[in-house]
Amino acid sequence: MASDALSRPSVGGAAKRKRRTMDGNFTIGRFGGVEVRLHWSLIAVFALIVWSLADGVLPSQNPGLSDGTYFGAAIVASLLFLASILLHELGHSWVARREGIEVDSITLWLFGGVAEFKDRFASAGAEFRVALAGPLVSIGLGVLFVLIALAGLPSAVDGAAAWLGYINLILAAFNLLPASPLDGGRVLHAALWRAKGDYAWATRVASEIGQGFGYLFIALGLVMFIFQGSFSGAWLAFIGWYLLQGAKAEARYVATEQALGGLRVRDLMVPQPLTVDADSTIGRFMDDVAASHRFTTYPVLDGGRPVGLLAFASVAAVPRSEWDARRVRDTMAPLDDVPLLTEDQRAVDALVELSAPNANRGLVVDDGHLAGLLSITDLARALEVGRSPAQARG
């Protein structure tokens, strides 16, 4: 799950034009055009899996082998497990592509993978097929490893293969729980959406069921942990917490979408904002512009074209002695670092872009010309207005 306050549900898509790297992720490569990233939590999990395989699972399945053999088999099995999770996620993304949905990235982390798509699904059928693809891959891998385990190979191999078969089948079963944001929750969402033809209602119901599972897992986990001293209990409670957060984020996104209704960027932006010239000096800007207007941000133009955003805060950081030598161009945030919006864009999608760290404000550009300025505050105000009637009713 993304860490922003408001993020698009991971299946359902993040429409971010410029991706800002999520904290704690690093890219390991591209597979078939999809960026694959690892979250740091996976390193800890990897070590834990190697240890539990080498120290417990493999020696009890195949007694009498050397420590080195167990350790080597444990590392190979753990790598194959990571590859299995990656294949599960690639299963989602391959089917998504066939449905015409671009896949942004895949992030592997503590509980498996998260595939981020760029758009929302066109139909309930498409969502259903994409959601089911991952667990089908896991079931296929599970069966394959079980068959390898039964094939009568050397004992260090069959123990690891048996574990890989078992863990892939567990992964499929867990992901098929009808608990949004798990794959089974998506399947449920697609079924509800198909049944009533109401996307927002389907999301609310799926989210509530997902939250129910979250609370159940937390309660069960705590009982196991407190009364049986079982470490799996802590694990289960943690998974429950993750489900709860994910399910809530989805309900929040849909609520925001509804509160902003059919609003577009043009309805909320400040049209024709006060601009400054890129070649103007900071001293000139202070005398001509800042002395009479106190805005927090000014779009910067060069020959009539927008080239960046000048924040008053970054001007204030320039020492007074440099004011006459320093140009606006050298003090502004260049276009690459500024979210670019279009007048016709949906307000909810603009909110997703402006919710990214350090984004806050975006330039509304139409045909290369500046049309307006939109800040997250403008959107927050619109949200307040959109939400208040519902809150008054309780």
**Active-site residue list:** 89
d(CA 94, CA 87): 10
Of 159 and 246, nearer to Zn ion (C-beta) is 246
Which of these ranges, 13-21, 93-101, 131-139, 248-256, lies near Zn ion under the rule CB under 5 A? 131-139
Which of these ranges, 127-135, 252-260, 275-283, 332-340, lies near Zn ion under the rule CB under 5 A? 127-135
Total of residues contacting Zn ion (CB under 5 A): 3
Alpha helices, H only, the chain = 41-52, 58-61, 67-98, 124-150, 155-175, 183-196, 199-228, 231-259, 265-268, 282-285, 312-316, 328-331, 347-354, 376-393
d(CA 60, CA 176): 30
Backbone angles phi, psi at 231, to 5 degrees: -70, -30
Cis-peptide into 135, omega within 30 deg? no
d(CA 220, CA 236): 8
What separation, in Å, do the N-terminal and C-terminal C-alpha atoms of the chain show?
29
CA dihedral sign of residues 288, 290, 295, 298: positive
Of 134 and 306, nearer to Zn ion (C-beta) is 134
Which of these ranges, 126-134, 202-210, 342-350, 369-377, lies near Zn ion under the rule CB under 5 A? 126-134
As beta bridge partners, residue 106 has 36, 115
Kindly state whether residue 134 participates in binding Zn ion, applying the rule CB under 5 A.
Answer: yes
| Phi-psi category of residue 306: left, alpha or beta, with phi > 0 → left and psi -120 to 50 → alpha | beta
In the complex, least distance from residue 183 CB atom to Zn ion, rounded to whole angstroms = 4
Of 186 and 266, nearer to Zn ion (C-beta) is 186
84, 60 in Cβ contact below 8 A?
no
Of 183 and 277, nearer to Zn ion (C-beta) is 183
Site residues (CB under 5 A) for Zn ion, limited to 205-244 = none
Q: Which residue is nearest to Zn ion (CB)?
A: 134
In the complex, least distance from residue 134 CB atom to Zn ion, rounded to whole angstroms = 3
Of 113 and 159, nearer to Zn ion (C-beta) is 113
In the complex, least distance from residue 131 CB atom to Zn ion, rounded to whole angstroms = 7
Site residues (CB under 5 A) for Zn ion, limited to 300-319 = none
Q: Closest by alpha carbon to 268, among 138, 112, 375?
A: 375
In the complex, least distance from residue 90 CB atom to Zn ion, rounded to whole angstroms = 10
Which of these ranges, 64-72, 128-136, 156-164, 231-239, lies near Zn ion under the rule CB under 5 A? 128-136
**291: three-class secondary structure by DSSP:** coil
Of 135 and 339, nearer to Zn ion (C-beta) is 135
Site residues (CB under 5 A) for Zn ion, limited to 163-202 = 175, 183
Binding mask 77-116 for Zn ion (x = CB under 5 A): ----------------------------------------
Kindly state whether residue 250 participates in binding Zn ion, applying the rule CB under 5 A.
Answer: no
Site for Zn ion, rule CB under 5 A:
134, 175, 183
